[in-house]
Structure 1
């Protein structure tokens, strides 16, 4: 067991800094990191370690992450629970404020369960959105697929849209209008096209040629 010496100028203040270490690992109490952040308690692997990233758990008590728990696992970070759930809850990650960010830039993220709910609860104006983006294919498979919108449902594609069914295709609506690229050659504002629809026809024609 070792105890700290005199306070270093510019170092985060610590009244008593103790550490207990072996060649394999160490327990640090009141330890100040290289970035001048102080850990109330930290457990760290020392040697031997074939990894570049440190392996530790720390309770930070100074700096911008004061009150945080920092974990670093160069291999796998694994949590196993649920042998005896409490009120059917086996695990919970609750953020009182702020965002939760999950990232795997060089791997995949998989979620599997008997049922999966994605629920967005906002004010319906500036929040309450669900956004899904992909720069390749987006595929969805299910026994039945149902889309319901309180206001508007839009389907758009820069190229083709295919609707295939071996059974019956039924469309029930108040009105039905088809605008083709060839409709551009009509005089704007005449026939069954408004000026706005004529512009859409022109855009379709240009995209079909490009």
Structure 2
């Protein structure tokens, strides 16, 4: 099972773009997401939405990878159907996980929802292969793509500037300066010119 802050589980899978290992994507951020099944209505809307933000994610050095417990032939037929009926190209690989190896390794199967279909998971893996965040959605609810994009930018911003991001943060908003850890640091913090509500909560513009 994946754990935030630890190495993401390796996988070796067949996809619509050919064989793929997680290690093949070293140096890139990876958003690995699962969907319950091909040719289903909610999943189709999600794939169209993921495709719509694929270019923006690529600019952030992010590779999208989809997954369900369907065959490569099913994936390819569905991708072709989305292109023909909705006019949308699906540019990212989709893992065919018929043996459920990746789904089980990543905890994508929740028996309370289904024992043969994956729930809607989203795993954020950084360019060093570390699991950074995980989102879980029920089979009945489509995901929020703006939140997936926002969280990606928040994680990358935190890494780059060594800060934290407040609730509802969006790029361009003020960020949180890490809290002091000693009495001396508290006194210094209050003189550093940040916008402080109190010693433990200080904001700054990037």
Normalising by the smaller structure, the TM-score range is under 0.3
Query: TM-score, normalising length from structure 2?
Result: 0.22
Structure with max Cα Rg: 1
Query: TM-score, normalising length from structure 1?
Result: 0.22
Point out the structure with the larger strand share: 2
Whose relative contact order is higher, 1 or 2, with alpha carbons under 8 Å and at least 6 apart? 2
Point out the structure with the larger helix share: 2
